[in-house]
């Protein structure tokens, strides 16, 4: 029979009392701090309870995505064959990194956030725009500020380095155009997994490489073509970013590679593109008589293949971030090896 509010626990439901009286778990400070850091870096799973407006602006720029573009200037500078360790040259590299990372990559990511707001409402509803934490007017203002600052800084670098033709400015404008047509209708390259991911791959590898090369040498067609081929490995890297958005992409008709080929099919396409086109660079170095650099590049590809098997190919949906964190350092070191080989060969 039922009794008063002080009734003893029922033997038939031994968990009833514990469910009613168990205290709510206290928030873990370290977990909260981790989420805060993830938010500021623009990573997925970055939901937090409170956010300042400046943190939201930074989150839109996704600083975690700046890393390959910032690094890309270094192999570009190495491939010029004219970089020397002086304070002036180090300063030029650092200014170029500001151009490639916070300004142009920040512009690219903000544009993508703006045009993907409906998809993010499904995939990542906690992000600044779909959560309603920031107004669209502030987002549009950020796009224009980053673009104007980026193009202005690029022109300043052209002026400082004495370029008769503003090559760095043209690279910045071209990158801005690619970023726009990648995200915005009517073209919206990301509707097609192949075109969209190659556009990202070229943005990760070719564009910052060209900028770094142009800072210290004369950009030439050989370097441009080689890095565009190398960017096919970047296509494989870009595919990894699509796994977190499969459901939203399906609903909005975006033909990403995970949507077209399924998670495992896209995972295999990703790793094959990464490995084969890095190996093609190693083959080129062998053909150009730079066997030592080719051997070093192959040695850097081996741990990437190991991490592909350990993480990505076993569960691409669960291990995408872990795979990128473990394998990407070897990829970017391989880019430096190729840049050093080109710079020291005396052929370019």
- Distance (Å, rounded) from C-alpha 335 to C-alpha 298? 12
Cβ contact 281:232 at 8 Å: no
> In this predicted structure, what is the pLDDT of residue 253?
85
Work out the pLDDT band at 49, boundaries 50, 70, 90.
Answer: low
State the CB neighbour count (10 A cutoff) for residue 309: 11
Mean pLDDT of 293-313: 96
What tens digit of pLDDT does each residue of 193-222 get? Answer: 999 999 999 999 999 999 999 999 999 999
The residue behind tokens 């004369």 is 218
The pLDDT assigned to 251 comes to: 87
Q: Which two tokens stand for residue 255?
A: 């033909």
270-296 mean pLDDT: 96
What is the C-alpha separation between 33 and 239, in angstroms, rounded?
29
Mean pLDDT of 117-121: 91
Task: State residue 177's pLDDT score.
Answer: 98
pLDDT of residue 31: 59
pLDDT at position 15 is 45
Residue 59, both tokens: 């989150």
User: What are the two backbone dihedrals, phi and then psi, of residue 256, each rounded to the nearest 5 degrees?
Assistant: -70, 160
Residue 39 and residue 46 in contact, taking contact as beta carbons nearer than 8 Å: yes
| Full set of structural domains in the chain with CATH | 50-345 (1.10.600)
Q: Quote the CA–CA distance of 188 and 232 in Å, as a whole number.
A: 19
pLDDT of residue 28: 60
Is the per-residue pLDDT at 191 higher than 50?
yes
Between CA 88 and CA 77 the distance in angstroms is 13
Q: Is 2 left (phi over 0), alpha (psi -120 to 50) or beta?
A: beta
Q: How confident is the model at residue 18 (pLDDT cuts 50, 70, 90)?
A: very low
Give the whole-angstrom CA distance, residue 123 versus residue 133.
17
The span from the CA of 339 to the CA of 93, in Å, is: 15
Cβ neighbours around 147 below 10 Å, total:
22
Whole-number Å distance between alpha carbons of 285 and 294? 6
Cis preceding linkage at 241, omega within 30:
no
Average pLDDT, the chain: 88
pLDDT at 14 exceeding the cut of 50: no
Report, as an integer, the average pLDDT of 285-297: 96
Least confident of 10-19, 152-161, 173-182, 318-327: 10-19
The band of 277, judged by pLDDT with boundaries at 50, 70 and 90, is very high
Q: Quick check: 122 and 115 in contact, CB under 8 A?
A: no
Q: Minimal CA–CA distance to 295: which of 328, 337, 339?
A: 337
3-state secondary structure of 255: strand
């Amino acid at each position: 029979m039922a009794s008063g509010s002080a009734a003893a626990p029922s033997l038939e439901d031994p968990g009833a009392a514990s469910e009613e009286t168990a205290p709510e778990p206290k928030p873990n400070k370290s977990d909260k701090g981790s989420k805060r850091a993830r938010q500021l870096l623009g990573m997925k799973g970055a939901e937090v309870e409170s956010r300042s407006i400046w943190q939201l602006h930074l989150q839109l720029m996704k600083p975690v995505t700046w890393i390959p573009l910032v690094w890309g200037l270094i192999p570009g500078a190495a491939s010029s064959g004219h970089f020397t360790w002086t304070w002036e040259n180090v300063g030029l590299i650092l200014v170029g990194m500001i151009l490639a990372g916070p300004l142009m990559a920040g512009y690219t990511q903000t544009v993508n956030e703006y045009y993907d707001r409906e998809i993010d409402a499904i995939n990542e509803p906690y992000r600044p725009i779909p959560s309603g934490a920031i107004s669209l007017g502030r987002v549009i203002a950020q796009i224009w500020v980053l673009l104007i600052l980026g193009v202005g800084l690029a022109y300043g670098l052209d002026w400082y380095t004495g370029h008769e033709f503003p090559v760095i400015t043209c690279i910045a404008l071209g990158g801005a155009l690619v970023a726009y047509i990648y995200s915005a209708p009517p073209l919206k390259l990301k509707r097609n997994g192949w075109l969209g991911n190659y556009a990202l791959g070229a943005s990760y590898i070719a564009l910052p490489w060209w900028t770094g090369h142009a800072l210290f040498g004369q950009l030439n067609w050989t370097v441009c073509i080689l890095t565009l081929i190398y960017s096919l490995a970047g296509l494989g890297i870009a595919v990894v970013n699509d796994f977190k958005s499969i459901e939203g992409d399906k609903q909005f008709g975006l033909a990403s590679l995970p949507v077209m080929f399924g998670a495992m099919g896209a995972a295999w396409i990703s790793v094959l593109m990464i490995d084969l086109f890095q190996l093609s660079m190693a083959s080129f170095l062998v053909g150009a008589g730079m066997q030592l650099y080719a051997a070093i590049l192959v040695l850097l590809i081996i741990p990437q293949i190991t991490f592909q098997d350990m993480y990505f190919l076993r569960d691409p949906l669960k291990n995408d971030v872990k795979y990128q964190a473990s394998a990407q350092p070897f990829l970017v070191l391989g880019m430096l090896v190729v840049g050093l080989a080109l710079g020291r060969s005396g052929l370019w």
